Structure 1
Amino acid sequence: MVTERRGGRGKRWVVGLLLVLLTLAIATWAAFRLSPWPSVLLIRWTFDRGAAETSAALQKHLPASVSERRGLAYDPRDPEALLDVYYPPEGQRGAQRPTTVVWVHGGGFVSGRRDDVANYLHVLAARGFVVVNVDYRISPGATWPTPARQLNAALAYLQAHADELDIDATRIVLAGDSAGAQIAAEVANLTTSPVHARHMGIVPALKPTQLVGTLLFCGPYDAALVDWDSAFAGFMRTVLWSYFGEKDFMADPRVDTFSVLRHVTPSFPPSFISAGNADPLEPHSRALAASLEAQGVKVDALFFPDDYVDALPHEYQFNLDNEAGQHAMDRSVAFLQGLGRGADPRH
């Protein structure tokens, strides 16, 4: 009799455990279906690990002669609105202030921070440029077009404090990687296209003549170019759901404005555009380059054949230990140097 009671309690315990596990499974499934947050947290964890590894690998390439000003508040109302400025060695500055490269970090709109790209931007600054590293708020906490508004505010700050910061605000290049490249391209377009500025509801901080170029790596420039049947589609669904605050984001008319390559004009600044041959976003970069060239915009595009000896992943340019990453850095520097002074580089 005692054995039967114990056996009954054991069965009830197993059934109870199964019910708890089933409840947890249903709750987890519901959480992933009802909110982007669970998937976003996984993406952040993965991206943070990757960014830390990339930054550590760049440590050996850091120049000793770059000076910096860190943690400058470009919007006192927003504690996350911070930027750093990196200066080239004194001997490379010349009689005039160098071109100012304003870089926007990537992270799929849901992760990332300016520290992730700091080592790479120190290397770029050492090649003769003032480089500004801009932070912005990420989603789901901040939705489109908040990062574009913040970048525009950062540009207003740089312009207002140009002498104090010893920068040339009349020669600015907007640059970025991944999501940051999309944000940079978006602000470049609203700066040079009054129609796009109205659609985004943003008054440009710069005059078009102040924006002399863009440097764009591996960005997503048109939601319609995503292969929604690929393994990559799940990631894009999560980040765009987060960024627009709508699960059915493709039905949101704002996605058309976000898809910046549909709206570029002949006034868009000269651009360097690149992506790796194994990057699922490479078609976006190729399409943006083609769209700009069709508008008569000067484009320096760096792409690689499908059978390139090493498959180059998303954000390949940050790997300065291989030939492709070094080549991308050299081509970027040559592009920036080729913008010249005086004449409008658009012609």
Structure 2
Amino acid sequence: MTTHEDVEASAGRKPHKRWHRTKITLGIIIVVVLIVAIIGAITPWPSAMVIRAVFTQGGEATATEMDGHVPDTKLTETLDVAYADDGIDTTMDVFTPASATGALPTIVWIHGGAWISGSKENVDPYMRILAAEGYTTIALNYTLGPEGFYPTAVGQINQALAYINENAADLGVDPTQIVLAGDSAGSQLASQMATLITNPDYAEIMSVTPALMPDQVVATVLNCGVYDLAALAALDGIVGWGLKSSMWAYTGTKTWAEDSSGATMSTVNWVTEDFPTTYISGGNGDALTWLQSIPMSQRLDALGVDVTTQFWPADHEPALPHEYQFHLDMPDAQTALQKTIDFLDEHTR
């Protein structure tokens, strides 16, 4: 059989080395892919870091977009307030109108990022927008996975609520009018905190003593959240891979869907009739709306909880993506913002 080298030799040339270099390169690529696959089967770190990098870029871009919509209202801002002793992970940013002469209804916002990315700075522009409406607004940090495992963040957020309650006068907080709010993973955490506060059986199972009394939490705002981990586990494709990888990184176990992590994070199964009045929203182009937000709103409604929704028809154009509420260049995001403000005004003061 005539080989590539034979053809080169018959032409009076030395065998070309390019083919050998190509084979070596392909071999290296295959080895690298295999190594990455093996490592990825043992630890969630590689996948988590890729997802974090993508989310970080997106979060920063969205915050910049929101910056363009922050009104000129003068605010008093206190940044990087330490609510516990875990460094930057346990800090918060506080915003209040400079004209305020006393305590104000307060929105405590928990940022999203699939539990493994994001920061309070990503939602600070939104906090400034809401503060300009006459609220004290607080954006929280918490430890992300895989640096810390569930339920570390739950305990930290409970510490934050305790700090806010104990330092209400200094922070401009009316401790009788607190709204728990969040986006994406932060929405799951906000729903979890509200459930801990209003369901003693759940708090006992979680071994958490809630920092707030039920009558202190007057409402929740839940945007694009996750409330049913079994439905999350059923997702396929790139979205399913990303969320499953994130959950592994956040919980520290690949079996999160089968053990107490997934069960206790699934607040749809733990909410009661005492859950606070709720505003819940999601975009029609976001799979989580159909798998999570709408079923959660239906569950709360069935329990008799006062629920305000902002959903969109399945064929709405443009299709509204995950966390569309922050893309304030879009008219539909402006609609959601105004509905959020109307909801807050109705259930506070």
TM-score, normalised to structure 2's length? 0.90
- Does 1:208 pair with 2:208? no
Following superposition, the deviation at residue 9 of structure 1 comes to 8.6
Structure 2 residue corresponding to 1:219, chosen from 219, 225, 230: 225
C-alpha contact (below 8 Å) 2:110/2:139 kept by paired residues: yes
CA distance in 1, matches of 2:183, 2:29: 41
- Counterpart of 2:317, as a letter, is V
CA distance in 1, matches of 2:75, 2:265: 35
Following superposition, the deviation at residue 21 of structure 1 comes to 3.2
Following superposition, the deviation at residue 63 of structure 1 comes to 2.3
Following superposition, the deviation at residue 35 of structure 1 comes to 1.6
Following superposition, the deviation at residue 214 of structure 1 comes to 0.3
C-alpha contact (below 8 Å) 2:81/2:93 kept by paired residues: yes
Following superposition, the deviation at residue 8 of structure 1 comes to 10
Following superposition, the deviation at residue 249 of structure 1 comes to 2.0
More moved, 227-236 vs 307-316: 227-236
2:4 equivalent in structure 1:
none
- Counterpart of 1:190, as a letter, is L
Query: Which consecutive unaligned segments of at least 5 residues does structure 1 have?
Result: 342-347
Alignment of 1:277-316 (within 5 A): 277-283=284-290, 284-316=292-324
TM-score, normalised to structure 1's length? 0.91
- Structure with higher Rg: it is 2
C-alpha contact (below 8 Å) 2:142/2:156 kept by paired residues: yes
- Counterpart of 2:28, as a letter, is V
Structure 2 residue corresponding to 1:178, chosen from 180, 184, 187: 184
Structure 2 residue corresponding to 1:73, chosen from 82, 85, 92: 82
Query: For 1:169, what is the secondary structure of its paired residue?
Result: strand
1:344 equivalent in structure 2:
none
Number of matched pairs: 335
Query: For 2:280, what is the secondary structure of its paired residue?
Result: strand
Alignment of 1:130-149 (within 5 A): 130-149=136-155
Query: For 1:232, what is the secondary structure of its paired residue?
Result: helix
Query: Which consecutive unaligned segments of at least 5 residues does structure 2 have?
Result: 1-7
Question: What are the superposed Cα offsets for residues 237-258 of structure 1, whole Å, 9 maximum, x if unpaired?
Answer: 1011112111122222321111
CA distance in 2, matches of 1:213, 1:10: 68
CA distance in 1, matches of 2:61, 2:185: 19
C-alpha contact (below 8 Å) 1:105/1:134 kept by paired residues: yes
Alignment of 1:38-77 (within 5 A): 38-64=46-72, 65-77=74-86
C-alpha contact (below 8 Å) 2:280/2:310 kept by paired residues: yes
Following superposition, the deviation at residue 20 of structure 1 comes to 3.2
1:252 equivalent in structure 2:
259
- Counterpart of 1:80, as a letter, is D
- Counterpart of 1:259, as a letter, is S
CA distance in 2, matches of 1:310, 1:54: 18
1:266 equivalent in structure 2:
273
Query: For 1:46, what is the secondary structure of its paired residue?
Result: helix
**Measured at CA, do residues 20 and 151 of structure 1 come closer, stay the same or move farther in structure 2, by a change above 3 Å?**
same
Query: For 1:294, what is the secondary structure of its paired residue?
Result: helix
2:93 equivalent in structure 1:
84
**Measured at CA, do residues 105 and 77 of structure 1 come closer, stay the same or move farther in structure 2, by a change above 3 Å?**
closer
Query: For 1:99, what is the secondary structure of its paired residue?
Result: strand
1:121 equivalent in structure 2:
127
- Counterpart of 2:128, as a letter, is H
**Measured at CA, do residues 16 and 136 of structure 1 come closer, stay the same or move farther in structure 2, by a change above 3 Å?**
same
- Does 1:243 pair with 2:250? yes
